[in-house]
């Protein structure tokens, strides 16, 4: 079988290159009692992986060199000597960038694909959906009629934030890169408006889309995009700082409007969804119901085959994905 390992680390101000990864061929090992063998069907590619590739101090330990790249996976059990898993079960876990993996069942969860497609467990009904659910409900806590803004609005996290906020009766404004992504956010996901930051009039367009100011921000990008939203905040606004993708390659992301945190008495809170395990059962159950009943829509960018993972990941960091970025394995 094949797997992809981290071959070298990008400098903290360097873009990820294909040469930072290496494709390897390995023999499938025999499983022992208490273990199972999983064939991965989809890999999840996520922006946090850029941080793990670097040895800099962060909230999580770095990815080890020459080891299988970390990452969320959904797959099928091929062989089992584990009492809780049977051949044919669909399992979600973090088995990484590999076609097959041996697991002892730790961090592995059996899922039901009757009403929810397997891939959705890596998106709206998985970690990204949970991220949206947590930031919206536990930090922003918007009331009906309030204006909510979310950046990277067409993406895995942003698309869920906006749809959940619409269900709460908020005015929801997305920020996304390009006319196609904005049209999707408004026409398919039902946001009230979406500002294309690449059109060159971010401040004016955001002002037009938020005539009553902004009560809560779900920040996925940072830098100039966050700054423009900060400028529109109302008194006692709440900001969930979820991501800072504009700065993941060490780019400067200055904020001119940070003074408004003081003058508008804003609450600003960063969070890491994996550190909130007590909320996951409730969040995933709500998200699962919404997806199964068609009330929560999602879109996927699917790269084909393990070898396509590095380029697809590099594309994700440049906004080339349109929806949740996955890799489908043969």
Distance CA 169, CA 157 (A): 19
Q: Which residue stretch of 74-82, 185-193, 252-260, 267-275 sits at the interface with ligand NDP (rule: CB under 6 A)?
A: 267-275
x/- contact string, 168-197, with ligand NDP (CB under 6 A)?
Answer: --------xx---x----------------
If binding is defined by CB under 6 A, does position 136 make contact with ligand NDP? no
Sort strands 36-44 and 73-80 into parallel, antiparallel or unpaired. Answer: antiparallel
Catalogue the E-assigned strands of the chain.
2-6, 21-25, 36-44, 73-80, 90-93, 100-103, 109-111, 147-151, 171-176, 193-196, 214-219, 233-241, 267-270, 300-304, 324-328
Q: Closest Cα partner for 73 from 46, 52, 34, 54?
A: 46
Sort strands 233-241 and 214-219 into parallel, antiparallel or unpaired. Answer: parallel
If binding is defined by CB under 6 A, does position 150 make contact with ligand NDP? no
Query: Among residues 46 and 205, whose Cβ is nearest to ligand NDP?
Result: 46
The backbone region for 153, taken as left when phi is positive above 0, alpha when psi lies in -120 to 50, beta otherwise, is: alpha
If binding is defined by CB under 6 A, does position 131 make contact with ligand NDP? yes
Residue position matching structure tokens 């961090």:
107
Q: Which of 46, 192, 205, 227 binds ligand NDP (CB under 6 A)?
A: 46
Query: Among residues 72 and 288, whose Cβ is nearest to ligand NDP?
Result: 72
Residue position matching structure tokens 């990204």:
128
If binding is defined by CB under 6 A, does position 155 make contact with ligand NDP? yes
Query: Among residues 58 and 285, whose Cβ is nearest to ligand NDP?
Result: 58
If binding is defined by CB under 6 A, does position 73 make contact with ligand NDP? no
If binding is defined by CB under 6 A, does position 123 make contact with ligand NDP? no
Q: Which of 71, 72, 142, 158 binds ligand NDP (CB under 6 A)?
A: 158
If binding is defined by CB under 6 A, does position 243 make contact with ligand NDP? yes
Q: Which residue stretch of 20-28, 113-121, 208-216, 265-273 sits at the interface with ligand NDP (rule: CB under 6 A)?
A: 265-273
Query: Among residues 13 and 330, whose Cβ is nearest to ligand NDP?
Result: 13
Distance CA 246, CA 224 (A): 9
- Spatial CB neighbours of 285, under 8 Å, sequence gap ≥ 6: none
Distance CA 1, CA 280 (A): 33
Q: Which of 128, 129, 142, 310 binds ligand NDP (CB under 6 A)?
A: 128
x/- contact string, 268-307, with ligand NDP (CB under 6 A)?
Answer: ---xxx----------------------------------
Distance CA 314, CA 124 (A): 22
How far apart are the two ends of the chain, measured CA to CA in Å?
11
Q: Output the smallest distance, CB 154 to ligand NDP, in A.
A: 6
Q: Which residue stretch of 61-69, 207-215, 241-249, 261-269 sits at the interface with ligand NDP (rule: CB under 6 A)?
A: 241-249
Yes or no: say if 208 and 180 are a contact pair by the CB < 8 Å rule.
no
Distance CA 88, CA 77 (A): 5
x/- contact string, 195-234, with ligand NDP (CB under 6 A)?
Answer: -------------------------xx---x---------
- Given the rule CB under 6 A, which residues bind ligand NDP? 46-48, 128, 131, 152, 154-158, 176-177, 181, 220-221, 225, 242-243, 245-246, 271-273, 316-317, 319, 321, 324
């Amino acid at each position: 079988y094949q797997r992809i390992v981290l071959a070298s680390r990008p400098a903290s101000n360097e873009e990820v290159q294909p040469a930072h990864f290496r494709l390897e061929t390995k023999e499938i090992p025999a499983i022992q009692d208490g273990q199972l063998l999983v064939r991965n069907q989809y890999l999840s590619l996520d922006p946090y992986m850029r941080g793990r590739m670097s040895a800099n101090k962060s909230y999580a330990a770095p990815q080890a060199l020459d080891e299988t790249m970390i990452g969320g996976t959904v797959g099928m059990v091929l062989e089992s000597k584990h009492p809780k898993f049977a051949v044919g079960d669909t399992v979600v876990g973090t088995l990484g960038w590999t076609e097959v993996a041996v697991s002892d069942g730790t961090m592995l969860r059996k899922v039901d694909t009757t009403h929810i497609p397997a891939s959705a467990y890596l998106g709206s009904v998985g970690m990204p959906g949970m991220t949206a659910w947590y930031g919206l409900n536990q930090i922003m806590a918007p009331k009906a009629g309030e204006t909510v803004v979310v950046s990277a609005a067409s993406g895995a996290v942003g698309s869920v934030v906006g749809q959940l906020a619409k269900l709460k009766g908020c005015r929801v404004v997305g920020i996304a890169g390009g006319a196609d992504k904005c049209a999707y956010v408004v026409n398919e996901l039902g946001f009230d408006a979406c500002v294309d930051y690449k059109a060159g009039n971010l401040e004016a367009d955001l002002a037009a889309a938020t005539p009553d100011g902004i009560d809560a921000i779900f920040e996925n990008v940072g830098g100039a995009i966050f700054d423009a939203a900060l400028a529109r905040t109302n008194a006692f606004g709440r900001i969930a700082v979820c991501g800072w993708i504009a700065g993941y390659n060490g780019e400067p992301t200055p904020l001119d409007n940070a003074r408004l945190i003081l003058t508008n008495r804003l609450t600003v809170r960063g969070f890491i969804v994996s550190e909130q395990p007590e909320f996951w059962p409730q969040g995933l159950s709500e998200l699962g119901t919404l997806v199964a009943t068609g009330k929560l829509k999602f879109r996927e960018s699917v790269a084909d085959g393990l070898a396509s993972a590095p380029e697809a990941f590099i594309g994700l960091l440049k906004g080339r994905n349109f929806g949740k970025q996955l890799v489908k394995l043969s």
